[in-house]
Amino acid sequence: MSLKKYRKKSPWILHYNCGSCNGCDIEILAALAPKYDLERFGILNNGNPKQSDIFLVTGPLTYRSRERLVELYTQMPEPKVVVAVGSCTCTGGVFNDMYNVENGIDKYIPVDVYIPGCAASPELIIDGVVKGLEILEQKTKEIEKPKKLLGELDESKASIDRTKFAGNIDDRKN
Amino acid sequence: MATKKTINIPLGSQHISLLEPIRFNFSTQNEKIVDVDWDVGFVHRGIEKACTTNFEFKQVGYVVARVCGLCAITHSLSYTIGVEKLLDHEVNKKIKYLRLLMLELDRIHSHMLCLAHVSENAGFEGMFMKIMADRELVMDIQEAISGNRVQFDYVSIGGVNRDLDLETEKLLKKNISLLEEKIDDLIDKFTNNWSLSLKYKNIGHLSKEDAYNMNALGPMARACGAKIDVRLETSDFPYDEVGYELVLEQGGDIHSRNMVRLREIKNSIKMVRNIVDGVPEGEIMEKVKGKPKGETFMRIEAPRGEIFYYLNATGKNMLQRVRIKTPTFSQIPAMVNVFKGANYADAHAILASFDPCMSCTAK
Ligand code: SF4
């Protein structure tokens, strides 16, 4: 099996708390535990960003954790999906406008799925992660599409069609 | 002899065994931890300030619940009772009983989460899954009573938001009996299972004198025989009517802390039963008039130890000062003391057995 299939069958998650009240974190734990059993999708809670595909973030992003958040995000390999768990991760929630808080993580990293709720219930977390899996698949396909860097090869002429260069102005327009 | 080399090992701020961002710096010599330095400020949000500038006193009860998701009810209850004291209002007995019910249910699920976490960090993942599955019994009760699993905003100034109906009562009794069997089973496992007892006995030891000297609180203090419990000392709740008992162990190690938690869960189950059987008739919400003026304090025993609230108000809509002191903050000296001399390999299990709560500490 190729890596593509592994990624589809067993996406690993990385969980980071950037200032939450623990409410959503314990719901993530509960979602992984037997009653809700997120692990049936092949998901494993993993501490290493370099092996993870889905980034579960909780908390309204405090000043001191934003550097860690961006660092973790950049360490994850492409394709990756970011899931914001809980209202305070989406918009700041009840912590909105407190002096040490950045009002949601999407100022710093792109978010693919927003999960509402204070605390987000395990059912919602499962829905969000499954949605994330779809997006992950799309992104994988997107990445594997061949890129036209040097334009197309015209075999009959056995030369490169230079009108379709990536730098061509007409090409950029459409 | 060659001089011993000190090696610094950082742990955190993001780590698989830590739910919350916290950074440790262990100085180790040959596997032994000689010193530990920690940084808990990653989750500081500024709640205390916001309580006096962004929110009115009627809203603050729901905001302080967001200090910590695990002992949310303790926070909102401390605040609410503090304000009720300032307004010179004492709620009726039914409300007290219902508040106490949620407080004890909260203690049960918090302790179970801690036990699960300890097992996981000691390398017993199956046990983690089992305890988390059993914990759902309590979560179901909480959801039935209050409408949410965690962060149930159950308490308001002057009363509680929902009544206990017959169906919920039935569910509660059924789940509590199921849970009691499971807890008996867990007590048996935590004492007799070869791998659990071998891993936990005599590790992370804190002596009784150190517990007193360094201000250990909650289960951590009670595990070394220190009689420290707010429930004994205050009379805001009818604890003696519902069958509260002080739980003490003498060992002071991880094993004793686990046992204290397990036995407290049993005691809480007993209390919950008594409360449900003895809820008196009455209103669940009383009218409270006026605006708070003056200063007061409030103490409640959270699952991790004493929570202390200080309120200062001047008769306006906004409070002047809200000061929150949480158990983990007071325990830090005792925790540092336990780490010194332990093996680095045990650091995670010891850490989980304190049940530290960074969201509370940094606020
Ligand atoms: S959304 Fe609510 S429960 Fe979740 S971390 Fe934020 S404040 Fe806590």
Domain span at residue A59 reads: 3-144
Strands laid side by side in the B32-39 sheet: B7-11, B23-29, B32-39
Q: What are phi and psi of A62, to 5 degrees?
A: -85, 165
Q: What are phi and psi of A59, to 5 degrees?
A: 100, 155
Q: Residue A134 pLDDT more than 60? A: yes
A118 touches A23 (CB < 8 A): yes
Gap between the Cα atoms of B158 and B84, Å rounded: 7
Q: Residue B2 pLDDT more than 60? A: no
Number of DSSP helices (H) and strands (E) in chain A, helices first: 6, 7
Residue with CA closest to ligand 1 atom 6: A88
Mean pLDDT of A84-102: 84
- Could you report the per-residue pLDDT of B164-204, keeping only the tens digit for each? 888 888 888 888 888 888 888 888 888 887 777 777 777 77
A161 alpha carbon – ligand 1 mean position (Å): 56
Pocket test for ligand 1, best of A16, A27, A87 (most atoms within 8 A of CB): A87
CATH number at residue A126: 3.40.50.12280
Quickly list H helices, B122-229.
Answer: 125-146, 166-192, 194-200, 208-213, 218-222
In this prediction, residue A3 carries a pLDDT of: 65
B49 touches B357 (CB < 8 A): no
A158 versus B275: the higher-pLDDT residue is B275
Of the candidates A26, A48, A101, the beta carbon closest to that of B69 is on A26
- Residue B298: in which H helix or E strand, if any? strand B293-302
CA angle B182, B240, B165 (to 5 degrees): 60
pLDDT band, very low/low/confident/very high, at A156 (cuts 50, 70, 90): low
Q: Best residue in B16, B20, B60, B151 to probe A by mutation, most A CBs within 10 Å?
A: B151
pLDDT band, very low/low/confident/very high, at A160 (cuts 50, 70, 90): low
Quickly list H helices, A10-108.
Answer: 23-32, 66-75, 87-90
pLDDT band, very low/low/confident/very high, at A158 (cuts 50, 70, 90): low
Q: Residue B1 pLDDT more than 50? A: no
pLDDT band, very low/low/confident/very high, at A14 (cuts 50, 70, 90): confident
Gap between the Cα atoms of B104 and B286, Å rounded: 23
In this prediction, residue A164 carries a pLDDT of: 55
Name which of B282, B306, B302, B279 is nearest B145 in CA terms. Answer: B279
A19 touches chain B (CB under 8 A): yes
Quickly list H helices, A22-160.
Answer: 23-32, 66-75, 87-90, 122-144
Q: Does residue A154 belong to any structural domain of this protein? A: no
Q: Does residue A170 belong to any structural domain of this protein? A: no
Which pairing describes strands B159-160 and A153-154: parallel, antiparallel, or unpaired? Answer: unpaired
In this prediction, residue B125 carries a pLDDT of: 78
Mean pLDDT across chain A:
78
B227 touches B219 (CB < 8 A): no
- Residues B23-31: contacts with CB within 8 Å, 24+ apart? B24/B347, B24/B351, B26/B339, B26/B344, B26/B347, B28/B344, B29/B4, B29/B5, B30/B4, B31/B343, B31/B344, B31/B345
- Tokens for B101, please give them: 């019910």
In this prediction, residue A153 carries a pLDDT of: 56
pLDDT band, very low/low/confident/very high, at A148 (cuts 50, 70, 90): low
Domains (ranges, CATH) in chain B? 46-360 (1.10.645.10)
With tokens 């092996």, the residue in question is: A51
In this prediction, residue A167 carries a pLDDT of: 54
Residue with CA closest to ligand 1 atom 5: A20
Q: Does residue A88 belong to any structural domain of this protein? A: yes
Gap between the Cα atoms of B11 and B21, Å rounded: 10
Q: Best residue in A17, A24, A27, A69 to probe B by mutation, most B CBs within 10 Å?
A: A17
Domain count along chain A: 1
Q: Does residue A84 belong to any structural domain of this protein? A: yes
pLDDT band, very low/low/confident/very high, at A53 (cuts 50, 70, 90): confident
- Could you report the per-residue pLDDT of B133-151, keeping only the tens digit for each? 888 888 888 888 888 888 8
Gap between the Cα atoms of B8 and B224, Å rounded: 30
Chain B contact set for A26 (CB, 8 A): 19, 69-70, 113, 150
Gap between the Cα atoms of A81 and A105, Å rounded: 14
Q: Does residue A161 belong to any structural domain of this protein? A: no
Mean pLDDT across chain B:
82
- For residue B28, list its beta bridge partners: B7, B33
| pTM for the predicted model, two decimal places | 0.83
Looking at the complex, report in whole angstroms how far the Cα of residue B39 sits from the nearest Cα belonging to chain A: 11
Gap between the Cα atoms of A116 and B150, Å rounded: 14
Q: Residue A101 pLDDT more than 80? A: yes
A136 touches A114 (CB < 8 A): no
With tokens 């934003």, the residue in question is: A66
B355 φ/ψ sector (left φ>0, alpha ψ -120 to 50, else beta): left
Residue at A44: amino acid letter: L
Chain B residues bordering chain A (beta-carbon distance below 8 Å): 13-17, 19-21, 41-47, 49-50, 54, 62-63, 66-70, 72, 113, 128-130, 132-133, 135-136, 139, 148-151, 357, 359
